[in-house]
Chain A
Amino acid sequence: EPEVTQTPSHQVTQMGQEVILRCVPISNHLYFYWYRQILGQKVEFLVSFYNNEISEKSEIFDDQFSVERPDGSNFTLKIRSTKLEDSAMYFCASRARQNTEAFFGQGTRLTVV
């Protein structure tokens, strides 16, 4: 069964460092997303990506964040200068069409120390 895969599963980084979180969405999907979940809290939308550009982003997704789809398969989230409060689980998701279910990856747990 096709699935969304994320790497790494856990990343520890020092405050101020750049991190890149990687995702391989399901191959025939057209809509791609990043969400984050601070431990024990709700799932927060960060950004959506469609047709090779950002289609929508939240207020959380400031200039420190960027997304790329560098080739036909990978979808990355970059945090330029990490802060302690960026520590969270980051989920990548993809969907085939609007108003269908989004399939989530296993998540990357980012710990900023």
Chain B
Amino acid sequence: AQKITQTQPGMFVQEKEAVTLDCTYDTSDQSYGLFWYKQPSSGEMIFLIYQGSYDEQNATEGRYSLNFQKARKSANLVISASQLGDSAMYFCAFNTGGFKTIFGAGTRLFVKA
């Protein structure tokens, strides 16, 4: 069965510091994609970053990077130089090339001034 797990319901980080949000997944498929989305209090879902299972390099998008450890089945999101506007809910998501994308339970990030 496919499963995605985010074990941190809430995280605090000081402004300008880096933070890592954890995500692990479980699948027997060899080809899959991992995604992170941000959901601010306004409710929209904003795509942040994508990692394919065959990508050898960790994905990066500006201040976001994905620490992909395939053997451990983890895909942690690293946000560098946190800003107040980063306070939001963050969802890890997973697609195996089937039709649906499965979302984790989310981590609520609070950035402190």
Q: Do A and B share a complex? A: yes
Question: A residues engaging B (CB < 8 A)?
Answer: 31, 33, 35, 42-45, 48, 50, 55-56, 58, 89, 91, 93, 98-104, 106-107, 109
Asked if B72 CB lies within 8 Å of chain A CBs, one says no
13 contacts between A and B (CB under 8 A): A31-B99, A42-B103, A42-B105, A43-B93, A44-B103, A45-B103, A55-B99, A56-B98, A89-B43, A98-B98, A99-B32, A102-B47, A109-B43
B58 to A: closest C-beta gap in Å: 16
Q: Sorted from nearest, which 3 A-B pairs have the closest CB atoms?
A: A48-B99, A104-B45, A99-B33
Contact B44 A107 (CB under 8 A): yes
The answer for the CA separation of A82 and B39 in the assembled complex, in Å, is 26
A50 to B: closest C-beta gap in Å: 6
Q: Which residues of chain B are within 8 angstroms of A99 by Cβ–Cβ distance?
A: 31-33, 52, 95, 97
Q: Which residues of chain B are within 8 angstroms of A58 by Cβ–Cβ distance?
A: 100
Contact B99 A43 (CB under 8 A): no
Q: Which residues of chain B are within 8 angstroms of A55 by Cβ–Cβ distance?
A: 99
Question: B residues engaging A (CB < 8 A)?
Answer: 31-33, 35, 37, 43-47, 50, 52, 91, 93, 95, 97-106
Chain A: CB-nearest residue to B49: A101
Contact B97 A102 (CB under 8 A): no
A56 to B: closest C-beta gap in Å: 4
Chain A binding surface, main DSSP class: strand
Contact A107 B32 (CB under 8 A): no
Q: Which residues of chain A are within 8 angstroms of B103 by Cβ–Cβ distance?
A: 35, 42-45
Contact A56 B52 (CB under 8 A): no
The answer for the CA separation of A104 and B45 in the assembled complex, in Å, is 6
Task: Select the residue from A33, A55, A101, A103 with max chain B CB neighbours within 10 A.
Answer: A101
Q: Which residues of chain B are within 8 angstroms of A109 by Cβ–Cβ distance?
A: 43
The answer for the CA separation of A45 and B100 in the assembled complex, in Å, is 7
Contact B44 A101 (CB under 8 A): no
Which residue in B31, B98, B101, B105 is a CB contact (below 8 Å) of A102? B101
Chain A: CB-nearest residue to B32: A99
Chain A: CB-nearest residue to B105: A42
A4 to B: closest C-beta gap in Å: 10
